[in-house]
């Protein structure tokens, strides 16, 4: 029988040591920031009951859920009639669970199930993989990590301020200097719908406007017409599409433009308050860009919305989020307001790679390799190894009796900077020879001196 070559499922990938070191570099900076701001970590299972997941992401989302077949004879309850009726009739009988599609719905479920133990406002972060049966393409995978932080149980705009501050801190630590945090408010979009004469239709307006930077204003107008908007109403949006200037200039223009809409003015006031809070904190509006046409398609946003784009790279947005008034309502717990956002770790990885911003010493693993010539060297080498590790120096002993050249090649390939060589002279005098592989310098030292040299 021919052996089949192993392969990966489409839309998934392996992460080797270098990728893992780089991913952990990103995760550590994000985690460190979340903790600094008082967020607590949460994990939820990879699978949820389908009843928890379905109906939360729209029809398209339901199609993209990975379903898990029931264990055992999963066809036992399926009748020929069910099969004739198609997938919908069969599904509930063969599958009760699915892989999670995002981290927000599981979070809402957690809050509802633990409503009495949770301290409000509840600040949680979650870094876990999610799965979507999407068509794989560059930058889009079927398994990818999400990195969410949410605060629920408060309407305070201090939460929006903190999101801006966390994004700024993470990007500064990653060395990213050319990016913009687009900021808007769904109430402003609701106000725009009112002012141009289509009250209550902001969702359709948002879906079309959301594509502005991809397809241009001309195509957005065509889409709005096809959705039944009157060309005369669409025309009233022109000054908004052309709006330029500083955040304050845009806000004061909109105060006039939206003066007849109560909800629109409320949105402007909220945005102004967030910018005022930023100043009170001692930060400024660098990187923060009020973008009137930022819409973010998701229907559950009700207040502030964010999207972060890094400039001069080929990748789309790397972070986004917003405020939602009733995330837990779908599970029967009404009125829990929250605000959250998420870092796209895979996209940030691609950005750092494209801009060559990963630290050069990325694969910092073993610092010292202990090498030797014979059996006697092994037992002395193990004592040296114990001393190195007890002092916190990452070190290993070459496991096989092999020519010294082979041991050095191993150190080279693993980019280990130091090698300790143990010959009979070193063993007899209770010393070690320490070789710096970068400079080629070799010195004979006591074990303690060698440890100090490596550490400094």
Q: Of 323, 354, 385, which closes a domain?
A: 354
Q: 68 pLDDT band (50/70/90 cuts)? A: very high
Q: What percent of the chain has pLDDT above 70?
A: 99
**Strand 395-397 to 368-372 pairing:** parallel
Whether residues 182 and 157 share a domain: the answer is: yes
Calculate mean pLDDT across residues 237-257. 94
- Indicate whether 136 pLDDT > 90: no
Task: Flag whether pLDDT at 379 surpasses 80.
Answer: yes
Split at pLDDT 50, 70, 90, the class of 121 is very high
Instruction: Tell me how far CA of residue 137 lies from CA of 142, 146, 273, 309, 419, in angstroms.
Output: 9, 18, 40, 20, 44
- Write the CA distances from 344 to 15, 286, 445, 448, integer angstroms: 16, 22, 48, 45
What's the CA gap between 275 and 280, in Å, rounded?
9
Q: Are residues 434 and 324 in the same domain?
A: no
Question: Considering only CA atoms, which of 331, 266, 318 is closest in space to residue 108?
Answer: 331
Q: With bands split at pLDDT 50, 70 and 90, how would you rate the model's confidence at 211?
A: confident
Mean pLDDT computed over 169-197: 95
Tell me: do 32 and 70 sit in the same domain.
yes
Q: How many C-alpha atoms does 450 have within 13 Å on its Cβ side?
A: 30
3-state SS class at 164: helix
Task: Tell which of 310, 330, 354 closes a domain.
Answer: 354
The answer as to whether 175 is a domain residue is yes
**Is the pLDDT confidence value at 143 over 90?**
yes
As a whole number of angstroms, the distance between CA 434 and CA 440 comes to: 10
Stretch 402-411: mean pLDDT:
96
Regarding whether 298 and 176 lie in a shared domain, the answer is yes
Domain CATH number, residue 188? 3.30.930.10
Please check whether residue 12 lies inside any domain of the structure: no
Does residue 30 lie in a domain region? Answer: yes
Question: In whole angstroms, what is the distance from residue 369 CA to residue 425 CA?
Answer: 19
Query: Is 359 part of a structural domain of the chain?
Result: no
Structural domain that includes position 396:
368-455
Residue 1 lies in a domain: no
Domain assignment present for residue 362? The answer is: no
H-only helix segments in 196-311: 202-209, 212-226, 231-235, 238-241, 247-257, 262-281
Claim to verify: residue 326 and residue 373 sit in the same structural domain: no
Lowest mean per-residue pLDDT among 9-23, 103-117, 131-145, 148-162: 131-145
Does one domain contain both 341 and 398? no
Examine the domain organization and report whether 116 and 57 are in the same domain. Answer: yes
- Is the pLDDT assigned to residue 441 strictly greater than 70? yes
Same domain, residue pair 325 and 438: no
In-domain check, residue 35: yes
pTM over 0.75: yes
Strand partners, 179: 310
Quick one: 257 and 386 in the same domain? Answer: no
CATH number at residue 379: 3.40.50.800
Q: Is residue 5 part of a domain?
A: no
Report pLDDT for 202: 82
Band of residue 55 on the pLDDT scale cut at 50, 70, 90: confident
Same-domain check for residues 306 and 390: no
d(CA 366, CA 354): 27
Q: What is the pLDDT of residue 201?
A: 85
Residues 6+ apart with CB under 8 A from 244: none
Are residues 179 and 97 part of one domain? yes
Q: Please, what is the average pLDDT of the chain?
A: 92
Please give the tally of structural domains in the chain.
2
Q: 430 with 451: CB under 8 angstroms?
A: no
Asked whether residue 398 carries a pLDDT value surpassing 70, the answer given is yes
pLDDT tens by residue, 261-277: 999 999 999 999 999 99
Q: pLDDT, tens digit, for every residue of 186-199?
A: 999 999 999 998 99
Question: Which of these three, 332, 354, 376, is where a domain ends?
Answer: 354
Closest CA to 395 of 370, 415, 428, 431: 370
Question: Is the domain of 248 the same as that of 382?
Answer: no
């Amino acid at each position: 029988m021919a052996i089949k070559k192993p392969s990966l499922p489409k839309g998934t990938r392996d992460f080797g040591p270098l990728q893992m070191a780089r991913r952990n570099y990103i995760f550590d900076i994000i985690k460190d920031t979340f903790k600094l701001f008082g967020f607590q970590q949460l994990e939820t299972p990879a699978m949820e009951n389908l009843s928890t997941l379905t109906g939360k992401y729209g029809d398209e989302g339901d199609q993209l859920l990975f379903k898990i077949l029931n264990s055992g004879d999963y066809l036992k309850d399926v009748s020929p009639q069910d099969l004739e009726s198609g997938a919908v009739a069969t599904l509930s009988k063969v599958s009760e669970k699915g892989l999670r599609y995002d981290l927000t719905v599981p979070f809402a479920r957690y809050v509802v199930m633990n409503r009495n133990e949770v301290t409000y406002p509840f600040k949680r972060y979650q870094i876990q993989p999610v799965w979507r049966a999407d068509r794989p393409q560059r930058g889009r995978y079927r398994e990818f990590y999400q990195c969410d932080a949410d605060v629920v149980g408060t309407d305070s705009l201090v939460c929006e301020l903190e999101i801006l501050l966390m994004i700024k801190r993470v990007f500064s630590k990653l060395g990213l200097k050319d990016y913009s945090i687009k900021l808007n408010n769904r109430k402003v979009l609701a106000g725009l719908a009112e002012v141009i004469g289509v009250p209550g239709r902001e969702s359709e307006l948002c879906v079309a406007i959301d594509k502005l930077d991809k397809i241009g204003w001309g195509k957005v107008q065509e889409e709005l017409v096809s959705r039944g908007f009157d060309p005369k109403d669409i025309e009233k949006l022109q000054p908004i599409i052309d709006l330029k200037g500083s955040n304050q200039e845009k806000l004061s223009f909109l105060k006039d433009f939206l003066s007849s809409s109560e909800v629109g003015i409320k949105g402007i006031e909220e945005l102004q308050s967030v910018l005022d809070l930023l100043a009170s904190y001692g930060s400024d509006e660098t990187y923060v860009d009020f973008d009137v046409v930022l819409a973010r398609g998701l229907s559950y946003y009700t207040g502030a919305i964010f999207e972060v784009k890094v400039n001069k790279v080929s990748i789309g947005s790397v972070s986004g989020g917003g405020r939602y008034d009733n995330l837990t309502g779908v599970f029967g717990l009404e009125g829990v307001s929250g605000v959250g956002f998420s870092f796209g770790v895979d996209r940030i990885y691609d950005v750092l790679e494209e801009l060559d911003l990963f630290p050069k010493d990325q694969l910092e693993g073993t610092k010292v390799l202990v090498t030797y010539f014979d059996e006697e060297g092994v037992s002395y080498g193990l004592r040296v190894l114990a001393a190195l590790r007890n002092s916190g120096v990452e070190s290993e002993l070459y496991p096989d009796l092999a020519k010294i050249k082979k041991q050095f090649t191993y150190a080279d390939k693993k980019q280990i900077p130091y090698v300790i060589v143990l010959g009979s002279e070193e063993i007899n005098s209770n010393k070690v020879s320490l070789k710096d592989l970068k400079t080629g310098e070799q010195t004979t030292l006591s074990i303690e001196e060698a440890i100090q040299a490596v550490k400094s």
